[in-house]
Amino acid sequence: MNRWILGARPKTLPAVITPVVVALALAYPSFDFINAFLALIVGLSLQVAVNYANDYSDGIRGTDTNRIGPTRLVASGLATAAEVKRAAYITFGIGAIAGSYLAARSSYWLMVIGATAIISAWRYTGGRNPYGYRGLGELYVFIYFGLVATIGTYFSQTGNIGIEAIVAGVTNGSISCAILMVNNIRDIAGDTNSGKRTLAVRIGETRARRLFMFMIFVAIFSGFTISILVALGIFPAIRLLNEIKYKKGSELISVLSATGKFQLIIGTLISIGSLIGF
């Protein structure tokens, strides 16, 4: 596989595609193809950019030296730190250009929000005092990959903020947090040794697993208030709740993948339910 595709971590992309699709379904019959396309480009660019930025920052700090999860470019030697940093800047730039055009077509407030998203994405593991190392990663993910991604896309289509878009933002944000949480549960040992104090490290493995379960519950409950079809998501949710109880180490990679698929399932159910009024 091309090293840059590998470093972009394609399996994380549903976390930004789903909020956009859900928001478009909620906004229907209002639909602006160009705004929809721009919102998708912004989301994909920021997700890929933050993946490259994390790769760079964790790589130069040595955090990824004994990583269990997916291959990182800097730590594995597939690319130099300078190359990965440049890739992050380029993808941030693409997101900024698309976001600026989207703001010009809808509201310049989106430009302000986009600027904070880029700064926060870089500060996640970059800079002198990255907040991802202080247990605040889940908060960032909930705000930007949940609320902002969903509500921002909805607003760019309708010009207003609807209650359903806010609730859908909570749903998407909760699952995105769950994705990050299972990732951090898997890396507790390595993060502890390298001084990376993620939320999972701070509260301990048992509580982290319980918090993952709570996030899945919130996603089901909030999604159900939008469409009763989300009740069908209980079945994959039960599987996730069972697996998070006993899987450890590299076994959690499959849970991570399943949580990403779970977000797609819930997003699809909300979208279909919204479109057919059910």
Query: Residue 212 corresponds to which amino acid?
Result: F
The type of residue at 39 is A
Output b/e per residue, 232-261; b: 16+ Cβ within 10 A: ebeebbeebeebbeebeeeebbebbebbbe
Cα(89)–Cα(35) distance, integer angstroms: 23
pLDDT attached to residue 104: 95
Q: What is the pLDDT of residues 61-110, one digit of tens each?
A: 776 566 666 677 887 888 898 999 999 999 999 999 999 999 999 998 99
What is the rounded average pLDDT for all residues in the chain?
91
Q: What is the pLDDT of residue 67?
A: 61
Q: Does the pLDDT of residue 271 top 90, yes or no? A: yes
Q: Residue 142 above 90 pLDDT? A: yes
Q: Report pLDDT for 112.
A: 92
| Residue 12: predicted pLDDT | 84
**Of 150, 175, 126, 165, the residue nearest 43 (C-alpha):** 150
Full set of structural domains in the chain with CATH: 11-276 (1.10.357.140)
Q: Where does the chain show beta strands of DSSP type E? A: none
Residue 194 has pLDDT above 70, yes or no: yes
